């Protein structure tokens, strides 16, 4: 399985996420964005151009994971890419 991290969860990052989320051989393990996770979860669920995302989208109780259809995805807010723990998370590919 290929482990993916997304660095930046703007419109393009969210569209990429929606395209690969259900791929059997790909796992999104982390998202890094400086934005507020609650707002980003809302924007993932409701898009003014593409409409409502058909998955259950929420933030976990401690506010550190985006949960999509019961799958938790680590959420990071690191400005400096050199400080991101991609190696520790065993990430294969980072999408900018």
- Contact 7/81 with Cβ under 8 angstroms? yes
Confidence of residue 10 (pLDDT cuts 50, 70, 90): very high
pLDDT tens digit sequence for 21-49: 999 999 999 999 999 999 999 999 999 99
The number of folded domains in the chain is 1
Cα separation, 84 vs 25, in Å, equals 23
Task: Locate all alpha helices (DSSP H) within the chain, ordered by sequence.
Answer: 11-20, 37-45
Which domain range does residue 56 map to?
2-95
Overall pTM surpassing 0.85 (yes/no):
yes
- Domain at 59, CATH number: 3.40.50.720
pLDDT of residue 16: 98
- Can you count the helices (H) and strands (E) in the chain? 2, 8
């Amino acid at each position: 399985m290929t482990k993916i991290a997304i660095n930046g969860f703007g419109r393009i990052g969210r569209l990429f996420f929606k395209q690969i989320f259900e791929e059997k051989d790909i796992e999104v393990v982390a998202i890094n964005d400086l934005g507020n996770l609650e707002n980003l979860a809302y924007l993932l669920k409701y898009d003014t151009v593409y409409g409502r995302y058909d998955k259950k989208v929420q933030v976990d109780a401690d506010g550190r994971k985006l949960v999509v259809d019961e799958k938790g995805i680590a959420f990071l807010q690191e400005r400096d890419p050199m400080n991101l723990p991609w190696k520790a998370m065993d990430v294969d590919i980072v999408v900018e």
